[in-house]
Amino acid sequence: MAVRTQDARRERTRRRSTAGAVLAALLLAPACSGPRDTAAGITAQEIAATLDRRAAAVMEHDTAAYLAVLDPRAASFRAAQRTELHHLADVPLESWAYEVNDVTGEGADRVTAEVELRYRIEGYDRAPVSSSRTVELVRRGGDRAWYIAADRAADGAPAQLWQQGDVEVVRGTRSLVLGVGRTTAELRRIAATADRAVPAVTEAWPDPWAERVVVLVPGSVEDMAGLLDSPAASYRDIAAVTTGKVGGSGGAPADRIIVNPQAYGMLGDFGQRVVLTHETTHVATRAHTSAATPVWLSEGFADRTAYRGESRTAAELAPELAEAVRRGDLPAQLPTDEEFGFGEDAAELSRAYEGGWLACELIARDWGEEELIAFYEAVGSRSERDGAVEQAMHTVLGTTPQDFTARWREYLRARLG
């Protein structure tokens, strides 16, 4: 049974109340009772207590208390942890908590715990960000207390921004930008662009959402890849991505927009505005995006939101697909999920995005803006892909996938030919 540590929080006076923000009261998540009649259960409770103290030290920025739960014999680890806590100092945390999921023994005085770190950023996160950690602990001293001897990301878990360097925080009107190794001026420009993106998204997506975004700007594309636990080659030409699990229940966890500073910096004002509006759309629609949502719909809707109000022609916004249509290479079907894979053929990836955008444009033109949103929500309300698009096309649009695909192909000819 998982053992939850107390959710360490500081009492603080709110500077202002924010729509969609988490309540500011002092909340304590009680420890989950483990099987106390077994040694493993007692050990898990003891480890949870150690992690409780660590969480409280993080929230209080108490370096001495933070170091007090670390193995006194692990000099290099203690030094690294002191630096990491310093890197985290300016991040406006609302909560920081651990949940012990599993404990394995390596003798009476050494264990390894699989732990979930869950934290929220004040005023931005409705639900916590979760990070899987592997924590090693040892018993020391006359009281045989448990001390943390090592803490690392679990297999397959990404790094955290503060592990890459000192985090600088820039507050926008509707955005919070956290950067490492970037200039303050750059972070402020990103915040200003994100601030413009939020109302643009709200205009296109009228359903309630937080109307605030958190943007992470790592020092390099390699660092970006570390935050995503993916190869850097997959993101070299990608200006930004949005993290977060798909929802469908209205309880989607916190999203982060992660910027590739090299690719983003190569864009002009138009490109940067489009990128952050596109990614902000994913934040707004997350709770209505599920495993049933095809990528052409989620990416197409995000692109449509980003291009709203722009004066550029369809051929200018969809150059790869326009070239294919003009040479007679009209796509036979809507883009598949696989065609959106990062690291694949760049021209194919562009055509996939452009095709998804024009599919959403077609729905808005022939059925209307409200029906486009209703269609998106109807698909996302399903938990599985099978039949989701077909059913939504029938109930919302009164058509079939075959008929819609035929109309989409004609639409491509008309707008791009």
Q: Please tell me the pTM assigned to this model.
A: 0.87
Give the domain-ending residue among 288, 318, 337.
Answer: 288
Give the domain-ending residue among 118, 137, 157.
Answer: 157
Name, in order, each residue with C-beta under 8 angstroms of 270's C-beta and a sequence gap of 6 or more.
310
Q: What is the CATH number of the domain that holds 30?
A: 3.10.450.50
pLDDT of residue 267: 97
DSSP of 44-95, one letter per residue? HHHHHHHHHHHHHHHHHT-HHHHHHTB-TT-HHHHHHHHHHHHHTTTS-EEE
pLDDT in tens, 340-367: 987 668 899 999 999 999 999 999 999 9
Whether residue 301 sits in one domain with residue 241: no
Distance, CA of 179 to CA of 96 (rounded, Å): 20
Whether residue 331 sits in one domain with residue 250: no
Whether residue 262 sits in one domain with residue 136: no
pLDDT in tens, 142-152: 778 999 999 99
Whether residue 296 sits in one domain with residue 273: no
CB 95 within 8 A of CB 4: no
Whether residue 256 sits in one domain with residue 118: no
pLDDT of residue 126: 86
Number of domains in the chain: 3
Whether residue 149 sits in one domain with residue 240: no
pLDDT of residue 90: 97
Q: Torsion angle of alpha carbons 138, 140, 144, 147, nearest 10°? A: -50
Q: Is the pLDDT of residue 9 over 90?
A: no
Q: Is the pLDDT of residue 94 over 90?
A: yes
Q: What is the CATH number of the domain that holds 200?
A: 3.30.2010.30
Whether residue 170 sits in one domain with residue 76: no
What is the span of the domain harbouring residue 176? 158-288
Whether residue 194 sits in one domain with residue 132: no
Whether residue 302 sits in one domain with residue 254: no
Whether residue 162 sits in one domain with residue 89: no
Whether residue 196 sits in one domain with residue 149: no
Q: What is the largest CA-CA distance in the chain?
A: 81
Report the SS3 class of residue 394: helix
Whether residue 239 sits in one domain with residue 361: no
Q: For 197, list phi and psi in degrees, rounded to 5.
A: -70, -40
